[in-house]
Amino acid sequence: MSKTTNKFAPEARERPVRMVVDHERDYPSRWAAVVSIAEKIGCVPQTLHEWVKKAEVNSGKRAGVQAEVPTR
């Protein structure tokens, strides 16, 4: 079992990830965008950065193993 708890539901992660992608050009770097947005949503920048990377993998924009999407 994981030692950490996840206080953000998957649905709640989509908006900040979209915010980083949509607004990173307004910042000097992607990391600057991540830091700014993470502060606003109440998470650490590393967490939001991981969400963005996972979203890129799942959309095919970044190499890696895609997460399985649960079926209902």
Question: Mind listing the pLDDT tens digit for each residue in 1-29?
Answer: 455 667 788 888 999 999 999 999 999 99
- 2 found inside a domain: no
At 9 the pLDDT is 83
DSSP 16-71: HHHHHHHHGGGSSSHHHHHHHHHHHHTS-HHHHHHHHHHHHHHHTSS-SPPPPPPP
At 25 the pLDDT is 96
- 67 found inside a domain: no
Q: What is the DSSP letter of 9?
A: -
Tell which phi-psi region holds residue 64, choosing left (phi > 0), alpha (psi between -120 and 50) or beta. left
Residue pair 28/22 in contact by the 8 Å Cβ criterion: no
Which of 7-11, 55-59, 66-70 has the largest mean confidence?
A: 55-59
Query: Which residues span the domain enclosing 39?
Result: 10-59
**Residue range 57-63: mean pLDDT, rounded:** 77
Domain count, the chain: 1
